[in-house]
Structure 1
Amino acid sequence: MAQHYSSFERGGIKWLFQRLTAVFLVGVLAFHFFLLHFVNHAAEITFAGSQARMSQVGYFATMWLFLVTATFHGVNGVYNALVNQGLSGTRKKAVGAVLTLASIALIVQGTRVALAMTDLL
């Protein structure tokens, strides 16, 4: 029988966050599709409507959490997939640093765009 290998430590914080973000993402993605594909059809989506939705604190917070959790979940998954494929040593540290910086840049830019689409400030 093949031996199970994972770079996640079972019961560790990264393992737990990967599972929690997956559950959150499934729920928010379902909400997103329902709201923007069934309640409002694609032809009805306008910038003004998006701006009105983003100006609601609850919607803004949900979409911002969606951005942060999707970024963590995706980057953590890619990093661990690379580690599972044998990435180690200096390359592992370099990839970790690049992915961390890319994540920060994505969250900062996503936050800037989200704030620009509101009248909350």
Structure 2
Amino acid sequence: MAEHYSSFQRSSWRWVAQRVTAVFLIGALAFHFVLLHFINHAAEISFAGTQARMDEIGYLSLMVTFLVTAAFHGLNGVYNALVNQGLEGTQKRVVGLVLVLAGVLLVGQGTYVALSMNGFI
């Protein structure tokens, strides 16, 4: 049988963070589906309703945390998939920096939108 290989070193901070963020994302996604697909049906969602939800500090903080967690989880997963495919050396560093930059831009833009919806900006 083929030997199992992963760029994750078990119990490293990225390995643990990938698992912790996965658990958080499952819970946050379940909350999202219940709130926006069962309690409020998709056809009933409006811009004003979104602004009202974002005015709630608990909802706003959950959505920003959801954004940061999803960005980290996704980009960390892409990075490790590329490393597993043999990415190394300068290419590995460049891809890592590009993914970090993409994550910072994504989280920055998402946070800006959330704070705008909240009326903070």
TM-score under structure 1 length normalisation:
0.98
Tell me by how many angstroms 1:43 deviates. Answer: 1.1
CA deviation profile, 1:7-54 (whole Å, cap 9, x unmatched): 001001000000000000000000000000000011110000000001
Tell me which residue corresponds to 1:51.
51
| Number of residue equivalences | 121
Query: In structure 1, how many angstroms separate the alpha carbons of the residues matched to 2:36 and 2:7?
Result: 37
Query: In structure 2, how many angstroms separate the alpha carbons of the residues matched to 1:42 and 1:98?
Result: 35
The runs of 5 or more residues in structure 1 that have no matched partner are none
Identity %: 65
In the alignment, residue 51 of structure 2 is paired with which amino acid? Q
In the alignment, residue 74 of structure 1 is paired with which amino acid? G
Tell me which residue corresponds to 2:84.
84
Coordinate RMSD, CA, aligned:
0.9
Query: In structure 2, how many angstroms separate the alpha carbons of the residues matched to 1:40 and 1:115?
Result: 22
TM-score under structure 2 length normalisation:
0.98
Tell whether 2:80 aligns with 1:97: no
Tell me by how many angstroms 1:120 deviates. Answer: 4.7
When structure 1 is superposed on structure 2, of 11-20 and 111-120 the one drifting more is 111-120
**Structure 2 counterpart SS, 1:59:** helix
Query: In structure 2, how many angstroms separate the alpha carbons of the residues matched to 1:54 and 1:13?
Result: 32
| Contact 1:55–1:120, Cα closer than 8 Å, also in 2 | no
